Each structure stands twice: as structure tokens, then as C-alpha cells.
Amino acid sequence: MPHLPNKEFRALICTVREDEEFYEDQTPKKIFWSEYSQSQIAEAQETLDFIKNVIDSLDTPPMEGKVGKPLTDPKMLAKAVLISEAFGFTERNAQGWIALLGPYAGITVKLDDRTIGEAYHRKEVLILLKQVFEKTKSSDGKLCGDGSGLETSRKQNYESDKKAGEYLTSIVDSREVVQAFDMSGEQECKAMHKLLELVHGNSLRLDAGFNDRKLVDRIAEKGMVPFVFPKKSNKLNGSMAWKTMYLSFFLDVIQWLMEYHQRNHSESFHASFKTRYGPITKRRNMSKLMQVLARIIQHNRRRLAYFSRLES
């Protein structure tokens, strides 16, 4: 077997990590504030139309039988959850706003704040939202993944204390449309192994926190080109997928980095997601999952609507 240039490979990794001349500054996009208010009104109408149409298109899941007061239609509750998370309503505020906006979205029953709060803990509602997520997402095949902490309080700082709240590991495409996510609390590299089985694409970009030989092999087995940033301790020796990935890095580092750094879409998703929707406010595990799922559905809708307008 010919000698692999491991010494030179490791030296190149150090250079890439430390030398800023590999990267160019990006010019910030200009924001047209005069158009902002009108776009917000149009987005609100678009959001309500989406919620009505997508939930009405689903079959009502079977409801768990209970003695006593009949359960509220889970479709009405799913719409209430989506409206609450889209507009950032608390349960108390949601009661009043849904009384006004609900009929537009097809909510035909009166919902009080307690009923809206309990909707986050109904299995039937979770089933509906999972169907919406799978039904309304699409992919361009250029995938990237990352993990990030989700605040449960404004006092938390995830640079210094990532264990303080919830943790979200996700895979998004280059349009920042979420393809799969995990918030089970599992370590992000282990979570990525599971998420990988839920997605399809042409390539996948991950940072050095996912530098795992088995993960690289599985990415290649699924027909995707892996771009996993190397650690200083890595060697070129290994499986064909591992060796091919890092020989490509060694032989044409600029081209490899241009592909890899599309991973910034994953970081951009996490930053914008947390900025727009704020901390996780629910306390029960199912409620937290449903809150994040409802927010991701709205995020995907906004991204897909944006790119649809660009194409028209």
C-alpha cells in the first residue's frame, strides 16, 4: 500500500483552522424597511390560509376514549397550536386572538386557555402535526447538520452552559428547510446517526463535532457525499469513504471548503429560529416537542413560500 501523506494532511488542517486568508468577508444584505409592514400583513394571511388548508386536508386520527365530557376535535386543537406558535401567543392571549382569527382558519368551536394548553399534550394533535411536517417539507439534496441549545429562559447562555435547557439536533437543506430533527437530549453525534436514516440527499455537511468514521461510512452508504470537517488528530487511513473524503480535502482544499461551508445554512437556521420564536415555554416533554414541531412547520412554510416567490 502506498504511503499516505498523513503528516502533510495534519499540517493542512492546522493551516485551514488558523489562517483567515482562506475566507472572504460577506457583504450584508440591504433591508428595505418601507416594505416590511406590508409583508407582515401578507405573511399573516398566508399563515392562516396554510393552517386551514393543510389541517383540513388530513384525516382525523382516532381519539382515546374517556368517560365524561366529549373531547375537542383534534383538528381544531392542531390549528390553535399552530396559530399560537406562529404569532407567539401565550395561552391566555391565544384564547382572545383565536376567537378573532380562528374562524378564518376554520376553527368552529370556542377554545379557552386551558383547552389550548392541554392541546400541547394530546397525542392526536401530535400525530396531525407530524403529518403536516412530513407533508409540507421538500429538499434540494444539499444537506447540512448541526446541534444547538434551545433557551427555556432568557438568562441562559449556551456558549457557557449548553446543558441548561433543551438541545436540538437538526438536518436542513441549503434553503434552510428542516428535513429532520431530534430533541431527545441524546448526544448530538449519536442523534445524527438516527436522523441520517430519515433523510435523502446528494451530500451532507457536518462540523468536527460529528467527526465519526461510522457516521461517514453510513452517509456514503446512503448515496451522499460526506463533508465532515477534520480534527487535527485525524489520519487519512481508513475506509474508502473516509479516505476519499479527506484525500479530496488534501488535494483541493479550496473546492472542498467551498462545499463544506454551505453548512452555515444550518447555523443560520438555528440562529433565526431562536431569534424569531424565543424560549421554549412548555414544561412537559410532549408539550416541548409539540411546541418545537409547530415552530419548525411554520419555519419551513416561510422558507418554501420565499423560494416559491423567487421562482415565480
Instruction: Write down the residue that cell numbers 476519499 correspond to.
Output: 244
Condensed to tens digits (0 to 9), the pLDDT of residues 113-128 reads 999 999 999 999 999 9
The reported pTM is: 0.87
CA 92-93-97 angle, to 5 degrees, is 130
For the chain, the average pLDDT equals 88
Share of the chain above pLDDT 70, in %: 88
pLDDT of res. 192: 96
Tell me how far apart the alpha carbons of residues 238 and 212 are, in angstroms, rounded to a whole number. Answer: 11
Cα gap 22→258, rounded to integer Å: 10
How much is the pLDDT for 151? Answer: 85
> What pLDDT was estimated at residue 235?
93
Helices (H), 88-140: 91-105, 113-119, 123-136
**Which pLDDT belongs to residue 23?**
56
- Extract the C-alpha cell encoding 8: 502533510
Give me the pLDDT at residue 92, please: 93
Nearest to 148 by CA among 271, 264, 231, 262: 271
Q: What is the tens place of the pLDDT at every residue in 205-226?
A: 999 999 999 999 999 999 999 9
* Per-residue pLDDT tens over the stretch 216-264: 999 999 999 999 999 999 999 999 999 999 999 999 999 999 999 999 9
pLDDT on residue 183:
92
Q: CATH number of 139-272: 2.60.40, 3.30.420, 3.90.550, 2.30.29?
A: 3.30.420
The pLDDT value recorded for residue 165 is 60
pLDDT digits (tens, 9 = 90+) for 46-61: 999 999 999 999 998 8
Q: Which residue has the higher pLDDT, 209 or 157?
A: 209
Report yes or no: 245 and 189 within 8 Å, Cβ to Cβ: no
Give the pLDDT mean for 290-302: 96
- The answer on pLDDT for 99 being more than 70 is yes
Strands (E), the chain: 142-150, 166-173, 178-182, 203-206, 225-228
Question: What is the mean predicted confidence (pLDDT) over 294-302?
Answer: 96
With 80 as the cut, is the pLDDT of residue 199 above it?
A: yes
Residue 5 confidence (pLDDT): 84
Mean local confidence (pLDDT), 278-301: 95
pLDDT at 65: 59
Please name which of 121, 124, 114, 44 lies closest in space to residue 76, comparing C-alpha atoms: 124
- In this prediction, residue 291 carries a pLDDT of 97
Please say if the pLDDT value at position 155 is more than 80. no
Closest by Cα among 198, 152, 209 to 172 = 198
pLDDT score of 19: 60
* Residue predicted with more confidence, 107 or 15: 107
**Looking at residues 279-306, what average pLDDT do you find?**
94
pLDDT of residue 68 exceeding 60, the answer is no
Q: Can you list the positions of beta strands (E) in 159-207?
A: 166-173, 178-182, 203-206
CA quadruple 8, 207, 190, 172: dihedral sign:
negative
**pLDDT tens profile 70-84:** 678 999 999 999 999
Q: How far is the CA of 97 from the CAs of 87, 88, 228, 288, in angstroms?
A: 10, 11, 46, 22
What pLDDT, on the 0 to 100 scale, is given for residue 8?
83
